[in-house]
Amino acid sequence: MDPQVSEAEAVLVENDRIRAVGTLQELACLAPDAERYSLKGQCLLPGFVEAHIHVWKVGNLQTHTLDLRGTTSIPDLQERLRAFAAERPDATWVQARGFNEAAMLERRMPTRKDLDAAVPDRPVLVQRTCAHILVLNSLALEHAHITAQTPTPAGGEICLGPDGNPNGVLTETAQGLGFRAAPVFSEADYVTMVSAATETLLAHGFTTATDPGVMPDLLAVYRKMEMEKRLKMRFNVMPIRLPDGGTTALPLPDRSSSDFLTINTVKFFADGGLSGKTSAVSRPYRGTMNEFGVLRLPPDFFYELAHEPHEKGWKIATHAIGDVAIEGILSTYERLYRETPSPARHRIEHLGLPNSDHLKRVAAAGIAVVPQPMFLRELGGNFRQYLDDAFLAQCYPMRSMLEAGITVAFSSDAPVVKGIHPLENLHAAYFRRDLAGGVITPEESVSVMEGLYACTMGGAIANSMEDQIGSITPGKFADFVILESSPLAVDPERLLEIKIKETWVGGKRVFLA
Ligand SMILES: [Zn+2]
């Protein structure tokens, strides 16, 4: 990934940094006594950078919350909830995440009645896979004091059933009403979650991960883990600016940057997700008359919340998927840069439905974008169901992003999707094929080499960490992944067969297959 030396025979590591790159003979002259380690024909790449993954939530699904991904029907969902509740008689609430109604037999949202039938005697909270829709059972609604009279928070919905009472479904910012009533996680819970997710990430060759949108309690846990030297990989943690269900911004925390923990970016949500029809779009979703999604942050409100961090030198990362959300965020970024020039490189997370004018403007403003090829693979069926042909033609146009000259960083956004494997992401970016075999706009295919760049240097640049990570360059951290063979040497269809053998962070091996 280094334009100076794109391929080399040997790397010399000193302490936690790369000292030199070249032939074995050259490096042996520099450091005749160095310990040697032969790759035996395997392939060494810079450690992968996961530019947007909800680290603690990935860990949460391995430890505290039922994983509902792959649920096939409402009875299947009920059975999973019942079994999970029975296994945990001491849990005061039953929490689950990951269903996708478009992939379920009934093709409808579960409601409080469906959840009551599974677990009637404890509050139940179930989040859709996109994390933009929440369903509560009757007891949870009661604990959250949500009734037909509860005012709807701005940028969210409390959905009502045919009887005029809340049916349990809360979207976007209204989810905060449900989460506020649920038990809070302790510091020890969060440490367990971050640690569990770290092991998963390291096993997939990631050496840096960005956790977008964390609340102050989790931010404090990351800082403490960093101080106690318990972080085994590098994290870029983005504090959330506006909590779900809140109308006032959280105070800006201290900006800081150390070898293992970077805090330099605040996170916003401008809209919802495409797979659940909550991204803010300019034409109604296919099959509906008047569903345009949910715009959580109108431009004026966004400006009001964003100008302080911008003026203070923070980077800003905003979730924007629908074309209406993208327009609002982009025009506000342009205004901020115009009024107060700043070297901070802002980001747009996802950038699902940009038009060609948006791409030109994103490039001109020097904004980095973080799309998820894996969405096409796991959620492409939803996209094909909910988007009209013109939207499908501009859906995650990753080739057009690159051709416009934009910095593109790949990520999975897990646990929104199940797959976090970087090579699965490259495969998805190349083929743009969903699990049912449907292909979305094949002209937007990204080559394996471009994809590798997007999940190494792309992520480094999006994080403003390009001087430290992302390529095998003297002076940078000795963060590597060792693959059984080169992803460039195989038919892209066979990318997933390549095994990840080792992961190294700062010159130390932290994963061995
Ligand atoms: Zn996300």
pLDDT single digits (tens) 196-214: 999 999 999 999 999 999 9
56, exposed or middle or buried, with CB in 10 Å at 0-12, 13-18, 19+?
A: buried
Using the mean position of ligand 1's atoms as its centre, give its distance from the Cα of residue 102 in Å: 20
Q: How far is the CA of 53 from the centre of ligand 1 (A)?
A: 6
Q: How far is the CA of 405 from the centre of ligand 1 (A)?
A: 24
How many angstroms does the Cα of residue 54 sit away from the middle of ligand 1?
A: 6
Q: How far is the CA of 318 from the centre of ligand 1 (A)?
A: 10
For residue 97, what are the β-bridge partners? Answer: 67, 127
Query: For residue 59, what pLDDT is reported?
Result: 95
- Common-topology check for domains 49-55+186-470 and 65-181: no
| Spatial distance between the Cα atoms of 359 and 402, rounded to a whole number of angstroms | 9
For residues 386 and 372, what is the distance between their CA atoms, to the nearest angstrom?
18
**Number of other residues whose CB lies within 10 A of the CB of residue 32:** 7
* Spatial distance between the Cα atoms of 266 and 318, rounded to a whole number of angstroms: 8
462 CA to centre of ligand 1 in angstroms: 15
| In the predicted structure, residue 475 carries a pLDDT above the cut 90 | yes
Exposed e or buried b per residue across 469-492, where buried means at least 16 C-beta atoms within 10 angstroms of its C-beta? bbbbbbebbbbbbbbeebbeeeeb
Ligand 1 centre to CA of 397 (Å) is 18
User: Which residues, in sequence order, are CB contacts of 13 under 8 Å at separation 6+?
Assistant: 19, 478, 507
Please give the model's pTM, rounded to 2 decimal places.
Answer: 0.90
What pLDDT, on a 0 to 100 scale, did the predictor assign at position 151? 92
pLDDT at residue number 55 = 97
- Tell me what percent of the residues of the chain surpass a pLDDT of 90: 91
> 244-281 pLDDT, tens per residue?
767 789 999 999 999 999 999 999 999 999 988 999 99
**Phi then psi dihedrals of residue 196, to 5 deg:** -65, -45
For residue 64, what pLDDT is reported?
Answer: 87
Residue count of the chain: 513
Mean pLDDT in the chain?
95
Band (pLDDT 50/70/90 cuts) for residue 33 is: very high
Question: Cα–Cα–Cα angle for 273, 275, 277, nearest 5°?
Answer: 65
Structure letter (DSSP) for residue 376: H
Phi, psi of 257 (to 5 degrees): -155, 125
- Band of residue 122 on the pLDDT scale cut at 50, 70, 90: very high
Stretch 218-222: mean pLDDT, rounded? 97
| Strand (E) or helix (H) holding 188 | helix 187-203
Q: Exposed, middle or buried, 442 (CB in 10 Å: 0-12/13-18/19+)?
A: exposed
Give distance in angstroms: CA of 200 to centre of ligand 1. 18
Residue 23 in tokens: 């032939």
Question: Using 50, 70 and 90 to split pLDDT, how confident is the model at 398?
Answer: very high
Terminal alpha carbon distance of the chain: 24
User: How far apart are alpha carbons 282 and 354 in whole angstroms?
Assistant: 11
Closest CA to 398 of 434, 366, 432, 357: 432
pLDDT bin (cut points 50, 70, 90) of residue 6 is confident
44 CA to centre of ligand 1 in angstroms? 29
What separation in angstroms does the CA of 321 have from each of 96, 228, 336, 415? 25, 38, 20, 17
Contacts for 356 with CB less than 8 Å, ≥ 6 apart = 400
Nearest-5° Cα angle at 130, 118 to 263: 125
**138 neighbors 146 (Cβ within 8 angstroms):** no
> Domain locations in the chain?
49-55+186-470, 65-181
| Fold of the 65-181 domain | Diaminopimelate Epimerase; Chain A, domain 1 (3.10.310)
Strand order in the sheet with 315-320: 265-269, 315-320, 347-350, 368-370
pLDDT in tens, 401-448: 999 999 999 999 999 898 999 999 999 999 999 999 999 999 999 999
What confidence score (pLDDT) does residue 226 get? 97
Which residues, listed in sequence order, are joined to residue 133 by a DSSP beta bridge?
171
SS3 category, 504: strand
Q: What is the mean pLDDT of residues 41-69?
A: 95
What is residue 244's predicted lDDT score, i.e. its pLDDT?
74
User: CA 97 to CA 116: how far, in whole Å?
Assistant: 16
Could you tell me the pLDDT band of residue 103, with boundaries at 50, 70 and 90?
A: confident
Q: Which CATH architecture is the domain 49-55+186-470 placed in?
A: Alpha-Beta Barrel (3.20)
Task: List CB contacts of 478: < 8 A, sequence separation 6 or more.
Answer: 11, 13, 16, 17, 18, 504, 506, 507
Q: Which residues contact 480 (CB under 8 A, 6 or more apart)?
A: 11, 44, 45, 46, 47, 207, 472, 502, 503, 504
> Looking at residues 448-458, what average pLDDT do you find?
97
pLDDT of residue 256: 94
Orientation angle between helical segments 422-431 and 373-386, nearest 10 degrees: 50
- What letters, b where the CB count within 10 A reaches 16 and e where it falls short, cover 446-458? bebebbbbbbbbb
pLDDT digits (tens, 9 = 90+) for 312-371: 999 999 999 999 999 999 999 999 999 999 999 999 999 999 999 999 999 999 999 999
Query: Quick one: pLDDT band at residue 154, thresholds 50, 70, 90?
Result: confident
CA 29 to centroid of ligand 1, rounded, Å: 47
143-165 mean pLDDT: 93
Average confidence (pLDDT) over 380-408: 96
pLDDT at residue 75 is higher than 80: yes
Write out the H or E segment, with its range, that includes residue 369. strand 368-370
Model pLDDT, residue 496:
94
For ligand 1, the distance from its centroid to the CA atom of residue 50, given in whole angstroms, is: 12
Give the Å distance between the CA of 321 and the centre of ligand 1.
11
What's the pLDDT at 155? 86
With b meaning 16 or more CB within 10 Å and e meaning fewer, what string describes 309-340? Answer: bbeeebbbbbbbbbbbbbbbbbebbebbbeee
Given a cut of 80, is residue 457 above it in pLDDT? yes
Give which of 44, 1, 419, 388 is closest to 428, Cα–Cα: 419
In terms of Cα–Cα distance, which of 502, 500, 471, 476 is closest to 486?
500
Q: Which two tokens stand for residue 113?
A: 């009645």
Residue 17 pLDDT exceeds 80: yes
Give the model's pLDDT for residue 316.
98
The alpha carbon of 212 and the centre of ligand 1 are apart by a number of angstroms equal to: 7
Q: Which distant-in-sequence residues (6+ apart) come within 8 Å of 108 by Cβ?
A: 101
The pLDDT of 459-473, averaged and rounded, is: 98
